[in-house]
Amino acid sequence: MSCGWTPIQKQRLIELNASDEQQEMLFQDIQERNRTFQELEQQLVKKGKMKLNELKEIKRRPALAELESKLVDVLTEKGFVQVVTPIILAKGLLAKMSIDDNHPLYAQVFWIDEKKCLRPMLAPNLYSLWRELIRLWEKPIKIFEVGSCFRKESQGQHHLNEFTMLNVTELGLPLEKRKEWLEEMTELIMKTAGISDYSVITESSVVYGETYDVVSGIELGSGAFGPHPLDQNWGIIDPWVGIGFGLERLLMVREGGQNIHRMAKSITYLDGVRLNI
Ligand code: ATP
Ligand code: MG
């Protein structure tokens, strides 16, 4: 009879970023398992300490901040303008996205008071900016934002309550360029994130109807096209295209990990290393 890790051992190994093979190991008996656990834990703790030391002495920035900077650099080089908008969102702006009491996303919204919530997405603010910029700048309007978004999620390994969204958009481009734009943008972002193995599928989304999804085991990003029925709420008539990626998901896939919490904004992990080591 062979045996695997106890649930507590397995949990600890996940926290310490053990590989899939290490997590699936089997043993002849309990003594052998417990001995191996001690050795493996020591080894992983040592690795974690080395990584923390590297952060302190060499890197000085965690992967999440590094990726954000790289993305900002490549996108601004491509002519996109970075915008930074408020995390606190008025209820009216959510309603303009048709996210009202009947909408599935509505239950995931963190409310601050009756009229204000934490943004679950960047789109409402980007729509608001488009509406102004369309008068002020020549088309196409190329803007992007990267920042925290918040959703009440039934906690899993792929969902965070606070995550970092990158949303890249272009308004006023020729209709026939939209698909190509999404493909090129996906390629650019995947290359910058260091992910080569991904595929693109189309799915239907509660907010946008038909969507363009980038997948690598899990969903990494979702693209959308306009003209779209929501556009009229913002006085937008030009064609547009946009795509949103979760930075923690990109990092999780790049690092081959199982646990998105390692890559998140955290006081439990630092640059992917569990601090209780
Ligand atoms: P999922 O179906 O995986 O819950 P979604 O389709 O609801 O994701 P979108 O609204 O399309 O997510 O958001 C764009 C991207 O933001 C997703 O592709 C994903 O990378 C990221 N994302 C969304 N929700 C979360 C979350 N709770 N934690 C981490 N990343 C998230
Ligand atoms: Mg999606």
* Cis before 140 (ω within 30): yes
> What local confidence, expressed as pLDDT, does residue 206 receive?
64
Measured in Å, how far apart are the chain's first and last C-alpha atoms? 32
7-60 homologous superfamily? Helix hairpin bin (1.10.287.540)
The answer to whether 38 and 48 have CB atoms below 8 angstroms apart is no
CATH topology identical between 7-60 and 63-263: no
What atom in ligand 1 is closest to the CA of residue 151?
Answer: 27
Nearest CA to ligand 1 atom 21: 246
What atom in ligand 1 is closest to the CA of residue 219?
Answer: 18
Which CATH class, in words, describes the domain spanning 63-263? alpha beta
- Cα 21 to ligand 1 centre (Å): 27
> What local confidence, expressed as pLDDT, does residue 209 receive?
63
Distance CA 277, CA 273 (A): 9
> What local confidence, expressed as pLDDT, does residue 49 receive?
97
Give the chain's residues under pLDDT 70. 205-209
> What local confidence, expressed as pLDDT, does residue 207 receive?
60
* Domain residue ranges in the chain: 7-60, 63-263
Distance CA 241, CA 43 (A): 47
> What local confidence, expressed as pLDDT, does residue 205 receive?
63
What atom in ligand 1 is closest to the CA of residue 205?
Answer: 6
- Buried b or exposed e, range 206-233, using 16+ CB within 10 angstroms: ebbeebbbbebeebbbbbbbbebebbee
The answer to whether 134 and 103 have CB atoms below 8 angstroms apart is no
Reference 229, options 201, 200, 205, 203; nearest CA is 205
> What local confidence, expressed as pLDDT, does residue 189 receive?
98
> What local confidence, expressed as pLDDT, does residue 82 receive?
98
The answer to whether 222 and 228 have CB atoms below 8 angstroms apart is no
> What local confidence, expressed as pLDDT, does residue 208 receive?
56
**Residues in the 5 Å CB sphere of ion ligand 2:** 222
The answer to whether 223 and 242 have CB atoms below 8 angstroms apart is yes
**Ligand 1, residues at Cβ distance < 6 Å:** 121, 151, 153, 159-160, 163, 165, 219-222, 244-246, 248-249
The residues, ordered by sequence, that sit 6+ positions from 135 with a Cβ below 8 Å of its Cβ are none
Nearest CA to ligand 1 atom 4: 159
> What local confidence, expressed as pLDDT, does residue 121 receive?
97
> What local confidence, expressed as pLDDT, does residue 254 receive?
95
> Strand, helix or coil at 143?
strand
What pTM, to 2 d.p., does this model score? 0.94
Tens of pLDDT, residues 121-170: 999 999 999 999 999 999 999 999 999 999 999 878 899 999 999 999 99
